[in-house]
Amino acid sequence: MTAMSAKVLEPTDASTHLKQPEQTRTSQPLPSAASLRQQLPLMPALATQIQQQRQQVRDILHGKDDRLLLVVGPCSIHDEHAALTYAERLSVLAEAVADELLLVMRAYVEKPRTTVGWKGLLYDPERNGSGDMAQGVQRSRQLLLELAAMGLPVATEALNPLAMHYLDDLVSWTAVGARTTESQIHREMVSGLPMPTGFKNGTDGSIQTAIHAMQSAAHSHHHLGLCADGQPAMLLSPGNPDTHLVLRGGRGITNYDAASIEAAVAALHAAGVNPAVMVDCSHDNAQKQHERQISIAEQVAGQRHAGNRSIRGLMLESFLLPGRQADSGELMFGCSLTDPCLGWDDTASLIRRLAG
Ligand SMILES: O=C[C@H](O)[C@H](O)COP(=O)(O)O
Ligand SMILES: C=C(OP(=O)(O)O)C(=O)O
Q: Is 288 in the pocket of ligand 1 (CB under 6 A)?
A: no
- By DSSP bridging, strand 311-317 and strand 277-280 are parallel
Give the pLDDT of residue 20: 67
Residue type, 44: P
Q: What are the start-end ranges of the H helices in the chain?
A: 3-8, 11-18, 33-39, 44-61, 80-96, 133-149, 161-167, 184-191, 207-217, 258-271, 283-286, 292-305, 344-355
Give the pLDDT of residue 10: 45
Give the pLDDT of residue 336: 98
Nearest-CA residue for ligand 2 atom 7 is 178
Closest of 163, 231, 151 to residue 193, by C-alpha: 163
Number of H helices and number of E strands within the chain?
A: 13, 10
Give the pLDDT of residue 43: 98
Closest of 49, 108, 101, 115 to residue 74, by C-alpha: 108
Give the pLDDT of residue 19: 59
Which residue of 207, 282, 319 sits with most ligand 2 atoms within 8 Å of its CB, as the best mutation to test the pocket? Answer: 282
Q: Is 339 in the pocket of ligand 1 (CB under 6 A)?
A: yes
* CA 62–ligand 1 middle distance (angstroms): 30
Give the torsion sign (CA, 263, 265, 266, 268).
positive
* CA 252–ligand 1 middle distance (angstroms): 14
The answer to ipTM > 0.90 is yes
Reported as a single tens digit per residue, the pLDDT across 59-109 is: 999 999 999 999 999 999 999 999 999 999 999 999 999 999 999 999 999
For the chain, which residues score pLDDT lower than 50? 1-15
Give the pLDDT of residue 3: 35
Q: What residue ranges define each of the domains in the chain, with the CATH number in brackets?
A: 32-59+69-355 (3.20.20.70)
